[in-house]
Amino acid sequence: MSPGNPRAPADPDRKARFREQARSIVFKDRDDRRFGRSVDTAGAIARALERAWREGFAAVHEVDTIGKATDIATDTVAIPWHRIPPRPRSAFWTICLWFIGKNDRHFDRGSMLIPAVTPRGTAGWTLVRDPSRTDHDTMGDRTIRPLIHLGLLELSPGPDARLLLTARGRETWDSFLARGGQYPDDLVDL
């Protein structure tokens, strides 16, 4: 890095916030077009870019920016919900609801994720809510992989291929419940 061209260090939280802003701009554009309202997508993008530039400029001039990226390094620290991509975030909410429960009642119903094939014929995972029930949700492997990568789910030890919730996954769920536990209102904390 040359002294004349300072750069802000990479910040996963900032990147996740920008992605959420971009998603909201695209959603608003599509919604406004669908219902015949006036559209100012270029203005919304310009305002988002201006905010991003200001945040980046401020990050370059901050004295202590090093500790922000490493605070999620330990295995038991909860991951902020905005760092989980939208589809895996929704799947993780469903998984935790059936694995752990809600309303200060942590329990184990015998729920599990087992390998399966989706209705489209692709690799996936079936959420077996209760072994005695016959209705099961199947989620695509591309939806579950980010949860494994973030350390929220892990393969169980032993011969049976099953996914289990990790300590980090439980902490992330507990942080969601601490914010109120209302879906989808408390999922993203920007």
Statement to judge: residues 144 and 174 lie in one domain = yes
pTM of this structure: 0.63
Residue 22: inside a domain: yes
Is 27 a member of any domain?
yes
pLDDT of residue 149: 92
Residue 184 falls inside a structural domain: no
Range of the domain at 35: 12-70
| Same-domain pairing of 16 and 35 | yes
- Domains identified in the chain, total number: 2
Alpha-carbon gap, residue 140 to 8, rounded angstroms: 36
The predicted pLDDT at position 74 comes to: 53
Same-domain pairing of 94 and 161 = yes
Percent of the chain with pLDDT over 90: 8
118/60 same-domain check = no
CA distance 23 to 96: 25
Residue 116 lies in a domain: yes
* Residue 187 or residue 138, greater confidence: 138
Same domain, 60 and 85: no
φ and ψ at residue 12, rounded to 5 degrees: -60, -30
Considering only 28-37, 52-61, 150-159, which range has the smallest mean pLDDT?
52-61
Looking at the structure, tell me whether residues 60 and 95 fall in a common domain.
Answer: no
- The reply to whether 91 and 157 lie within a common domain is yes
Residue 127 has phi, psi (to 5 degrees) of -90, 105
Lowest mean pLDDT among 12-16, 55-59, 67-71, 91-95: 67-71
Average pLDDT in the 161-190 region? 79
Instruction: Give dist(CA 131, CA 141) in Å, integer.
Output: 21
